[in-house]
């Protein structure tokens, strides 16, 4: 199979393509770094100009926080507030990135001796960012400095009002800035015009971490003093789905790796330790997958069906009894969330399938009376992935309705919203995820406009195309190759676990395993070698695979330790046409 060529799945509505890379560059990387040929191919595809960057975990290699526009002004203002004993208020967003950002700033300021630090988290009812309630509290209680966490960049009107009343505002945010920036005392956002900070993909917790690094340095503290916050940086960075790697630059990956390292060494906040124990997760073997799919949903459940302050308190408390109670509360929230999410997904799909033209539309737009605003984003994500369409889910309310949007590669959802910005009361987000509030009577206009825009942008949309990193020969499928590839970890958004092609694998044994026979267990032969393979959630396709006899495999290299003796295993992602 040549680079760039497409091959179709035998069991799913999707296609696969081998990534392009320079064979000559891969050979040179193998020589330069002394790595295996498979790892060199991955590096040649992902970071041909800076391959060593993807293998570098040193925290000393983080960008200087002083490169962030506005950080110097912010540090000097916070330092003055600390020296003069001013009352400081932190306003954070309610998702895991906002909660961890807020917790990080709170803990850092308390560690520096701040006594009058108070915190507020936005919630689903009030919406993202600042509110009239918070503004009144700041004025009534005599606060002189407000620091935002994961919000504020679009709060020009509120911030102007506060500045007029003598309350300085430092915006710490990472969202896409509006054309007119708020009149804050200082703005720290790598995406703002004029900011030369190289990593534009910092999560809000990464922005907060860099602010604290600069503040600690200004106050003469050693660089290591900030490392106690890396567990929070890990949670927020993974939880907000920012790319770990982009164009060969890997600062977010480095932050995540350092967070995992700290946790493996037992260095984490009390609340996270208790939560890991309740979830039976081993800190020494914790992966980004477990963080993303197990831990983050528990923290986010607080803002979806409960109170986000419970998640915040879990991350800052020093009382074991309180940590136990809060962790148990989050687990209960999550059970409620799962039940409600399943019900909402059923309602949404029922509405979708009742639309006569739903299969021909390029964008899914669904709305329901008082759908839970905390769950519509999750369900939109489920639908976008299942149907491979940008998806908008709206909770219809009396006057102002709220929506969450999730997208697919090739369709920038925030750009789509910006084209119709005059319709919204408020909107914001990223290329792949966004949200808005809108007057309910404008919903039908917006639906038709977004659908028309999607028809234009996604005119040639076909089945989704997934990427294979490279082809592996049977001789390269070894435990040594697996070990070498793990030097690329941690994996995540923008830096997935490499998926490879094995062509013409002959099915030797096949059986279904797991609850409800949902998984496929295989023995396959290729090039005179036999390999064990597991296909999670592929059990329903057992007949098609057995009938094919010889297939191509899209797979990840794994390590099976079930027998006590590690051996390489193919973790099958898809069954491909035998011609592959």
Instruction: Give the DSSP H/E element, type plus range, for residue 100.
Output: helix 96-111
Long-range residue pairs from 105-112, CB within 8 A, at least 24 positions apart, any chain: 105/147, 105/149, 105/172, 105/208, 105/211, 105/212, 106/316, 107/229, 107/316, 108/212, 108/215, 108/216, 108/226, 108/229, 109/78, 109/82, 112/82, 112/215, 112/216, 112/219
- Positive/negative CA dihedral, 425, 429, 431, 435: negative
Q: Are residues 170 and 294 in the same domain?
A: yes
From 169-178, 213-222, 412-421, 563-572, the region with the lowest mean pLDDT: 563-572
The per-residue DSSP string of 301-339 comes to HHHHHS-HHHHHHHHH---HHHHHHHHHHHHHHHHHHHH
Q: What range does the domain containing 401 cover? A: 363-457
Q: Are residues 54 and 110 in the same domain?
A: no
pLDDT in tens, 165-184: 999 999 999 998 988 999 99
Residue 402 to residue 579: CA distance in whole angstroms: 48
Q: Residue 469's pLDDT band (boundaries 50, 70, 90)?
A: very high
Q: Residue 564's pLDDT band (boundaries 50, 70, 90)?
A: confident
442 touches 425 (CB < 8 A): no
481 in a domain, yes or no?
A: yes
169 in a domain, yes or no?
A: yes
Q: Are residues 547 and 484 in the same domain?
A: yes
Section 148-167 average pLDDT: 95
Last residue of a domain, one of 440, 457, 474: 457
Q: Residue 19's pLDDT band (boundaries 50, 70, 90)?
A: very high
Peptide bond into 490 cis (omega under 30): yes
Q: Are residues 445 and 477 in the same domain?
A: no
Q: Are residues 176 and 308 in the same domain?
A: yes
User: How many alpha carbons fall within 13 Å on the CB side of residue 506?
Assistant: 7
137 touches 90 (CB < 8 A): no
Tokens of 376: 């519509």
- Maximum separation of any 2 CA atoms in the chain, in Å: 78
Q: Are residues 177 and 207 in the same domain?
A: yes
Report the pLDDT value the prediction gives residue 502, as an integer from 0 to 100.
95
409 touches 427 (CB < 8 A): no
90 touches 130 (CB < 8 A): no
Q: Residue 124's pLDDT band (boundaries 50, 70, 90)?
A: confident
Hunting for tokens 């679009």 — which residue is that?
Answer: 154
574 touches 541 (CB < 8 A): no
Section 296-307 average pLDDT: 94
Q: Are residues 132 and 27 in the same domain?
A: no
Q: Are residues 405 and 481 in the same domain?
A: no
Q: Are residues 209 and 310 in the same domain?
A: yes
Section 356-365 average pLDDT: 93
Coil, strand or helix at 23: helix
Give the CATH number of the domain where residue 240 resides: 3.90.1640.30
Last residue of a domain, one of 457, 485, 502: 457
Q: Are residues 317 and 414 in the same domain?
A: no
Give the residue among 377, 433, 382, 383 at the shortest CA–CA distance from 409: 433
Last residue of a domain, one of 302, 324, 346: 324
Residue 217 to residue 329: CA distance in whole angstroms: 38
pLDDT(50) > 60: yes
288 in a domain, yes or no?
A: yes
Distances (CA, A) of 183 to 152, 164, 173, 357: 11, 10, 14, 47
pTM of this prediction exceeds 0.85: yes
Residue 301 to residue 303: CA distance in whole angstroms: 5
| Number of domains forming the structure of the chain | 3
Tokens of 554: 């899209």
Report the pLDDT value the prediction gives residue 1, as an integer from 0 to 100.
58
pLDDT(557) > 90: yes
Q: Residue 4's pLDDT band (boundaries 50, 70, 90)?
A: low
Give the CATH number of the domain where residue 372 resides: 3.10.310.30
292 touches 300 (CB < 8 A): no
pLDDT(293) > 60: yes
Q: Are residues 278 and 404 in the same domain?
A: no
Chain-centre distance for alpha carbon 22: 30
Q: Are residues 168 and 314 in the same domain?
A: yes
Whole-number average pLDDT of the chain: 94
Report the pLDDT value the prediction gives residue 580, as an integer from 0 to 100.
47
337 in a domain, yes or no?
A: no
356 in a domain, yes or no?
A: no
347 in a domain, yes or no?
A: no
pLDDT(525) > 50: yes
């Amino acid at each position: 199979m040549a680079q760039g060529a497409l091959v179709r799945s035998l069991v799913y509505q999707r296609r696969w393509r081998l990534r392009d890379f320079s064979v000559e560059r891969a050979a040179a990387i193998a020589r330069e770094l002394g790595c295996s040929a498979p790892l060199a191919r991955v590096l040649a595809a992902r970071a041909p100009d800076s391959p060593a960057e993807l293998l570098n975990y040193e925290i000393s290699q983080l960008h200087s926080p002083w490169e962030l526009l506005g950080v110097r002004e912010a540090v000097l203002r916070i330092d003055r507030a600390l020296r003069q004993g001013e009352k400081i208020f932190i306003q954070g967003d309610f998702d895991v990135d906002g909660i961890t950002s807020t917790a990080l700033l709170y803990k850092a300021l308390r560690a520096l001796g701040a006594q009058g630090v108070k915190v507020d988290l936005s919630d689903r009812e009030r919406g993202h960012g600042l509110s009239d309630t918070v503004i009144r509290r700041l004025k009534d209680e005599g606060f002189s400095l407000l620091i935002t966490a994961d919000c504020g960049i679009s709060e020009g009107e509120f911030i102007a009002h506060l500045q007029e009343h003598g309350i300085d505002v430092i915006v710490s945010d990472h969202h896409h800035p509006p054309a007119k920036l708020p009149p804050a005392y200082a703005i720290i956002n790598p995406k703002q015009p004029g900011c030369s900070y190289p990593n534009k993909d910092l999560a809000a917790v990464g922005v907060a971490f860099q602010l604290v690094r600069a503040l600690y340095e200004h106050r003469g503290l050693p660089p290591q003093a900030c490392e106690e916050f890396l567990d929070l940086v890990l949670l927020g960075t993974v939880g907000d789905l920012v790319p770990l790697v982009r164009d060969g630059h890997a600062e977010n990956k480095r932050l995540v790796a350092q967070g995992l390292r700290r946790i493996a060494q037992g260095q984490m906040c009390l609340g996270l330790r208790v939560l890991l124990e309740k979830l039976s997760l081993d800190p020494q073997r914790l992966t980004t997958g477990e963080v993303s799919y197990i831990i983050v949903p528990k923290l986010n459940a607080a803002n979806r069906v409960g109170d986000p302050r419970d998640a915040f308190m879990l991350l800052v408390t020093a009382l074991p009894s309180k940590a136990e109670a809060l962790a148990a509360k989050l687990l209960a929230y999550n059970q409620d969330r799962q039940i409600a999410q399943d019900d909402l997904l059923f309602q949404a799909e029922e509405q979708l399938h009742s639309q006569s033209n739903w299969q021909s539309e390029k964008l899914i737009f669904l709305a329901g009376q008082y759908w839970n605003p905390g769950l519509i984003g999750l369900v939109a994500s489920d639908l976008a992935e299942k149907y491979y369409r940008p998806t908008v889910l709206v909770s219809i309310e009396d006057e102002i309705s709220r929506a969450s949007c999730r997208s697919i590669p090739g369709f920038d959802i925030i750009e789509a919203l910006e084209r119709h910005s005059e319709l919204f009361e408020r909107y914001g987000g990223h290329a792949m995820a966004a949200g808005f509030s809108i007057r309910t009577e404008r919903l039908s206009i917006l639906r038709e406009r977004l659908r028309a825009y999607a028809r234009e942008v996604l005119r040639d949309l076909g089945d989704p195309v997934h990427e294979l990193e490279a082809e592996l020969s049977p001789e390269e499928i070894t435990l040594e190759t697996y070990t070498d590839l793990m030097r690329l970890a941690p994996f995540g958004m923008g830096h997935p676990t490499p998926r490879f092609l094995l062509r013409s694998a002959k099915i030797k044994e096949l059986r279904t395993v797991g609850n409800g026979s949902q998984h496929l267990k295989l023995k396959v032969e290729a090039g005179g070698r036999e390999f064990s393979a597991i296909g999670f959630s592929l059990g329903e396709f057992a007949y098609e695979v057995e009938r094919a006899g010889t297939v191509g495999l899209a797979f990840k290299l794994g390590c099976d330790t079930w027998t006590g003796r590690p051996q390489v295993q193919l973790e099958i992602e898809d069954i491909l046409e035998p011609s592959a």
